[in-house]
Amino acid sequence: MSVATGPSRIVTFRLGDHLFAADIASVERVLRYEGARALPDMPDWMEGVIDYSGFVVPLVDLRRRFSLPAGPPGPQSRVVICSSQGAHAALLVDAVLDVRPVAADEISEPPALFRGLAADYLKGLTRRQAQLVVVLDMDRLLASTDLLELRAVESVVPDLPA
């Protein structure tokens, strides 16, 4: 069963050995990882904040957010700038692999056994060559409590010094 309503494009990225994707409509830009400014009392899955076009943007380490084994950022690490519900968030990923079109029938609903964090953030599943790709629902990933925590961080540091 298909979950997409028509052809769209996805940005595929890697976290360890796992592949994930986001709809291109929620991705604003991909940047090289150059570090983040740490702040006190951040959730453990936040790397810190970065300056993006004059805005302070929270940087979420997706490995930690998804409870995957952590590792230091490497030369292929990228920051995916996403926008959701009028707010920006930056996602630290191990590598961005491609941007490609997907047809509606190429994204299937997640199995019914997915529950909790996996079910909340999962839009569907597709394939890239022979590998399974988890398509994330970025609006839900950055919604509710997470979005409140991110906005709280934004309000603590209104501007980064140049």
Show the domain range for 70.
8-156
**Statement: residue 48 has pLDDT above 80:** yes
Q: What is the pLDDT of residue 115?
A: 57
Alpha-carbon distance 80 to 84, whole Å? 13
Sign for the pseudo-dihedral over CA of 149, 59, 135, 132:
negative
Question: 65, 101, 62: which is closest to 78 by C-alpha?
Answer: 62
| Domain presence at residue 130 | yes
Whole-model pTM: value is 0.82
Q: What is the pLDDT of residue 117?
A: 53
Q: What is the pLDDT of residue 33?
A: 95
More confidently predicted of 79 and 64 = 79
Lowest mean per-residue pLDDT among 9-23, 74-88, 132-146: 132-146
| Domain presence at residue 2 | no
**CATH code of the domain in which 79 resides:** 2.40.50.180
The CA-CA-CA angle for residues 73, 61, 88, to 5°, reads 120
| Domain presence at residue 3 | no
Q: What is the pLDDT of residue 85?
A: 74
- Summarised one tens digit per residue, pLDDT across range 69-121 is 988 899 999 999 998 777 788 999 999 999 999 998 898 887 776 655 556 67
| Domain presence at residue 162 | no
| Domain presence at residue 147 | yes
DSSP states of 46-90: EEEEEEETTEEEEEEEHHHHTTPPP----TT-EEEEEEETTEEEE
Q: What is the pLDDT of residue 148?
A: 52
| Domain presence at residue 49 | yes
Structurally, the chain folds into a number of domains equal to 1
| Domain presence at residue 100 | yes
- Summarised one tens digit per residue, pLDDT across range 116-133 is 555 667 888 899 988 999
Sign for the pseudo-dihedral over CA of 152, 153, 156, 159:
negative
| Domain presence at residue 41 | yes
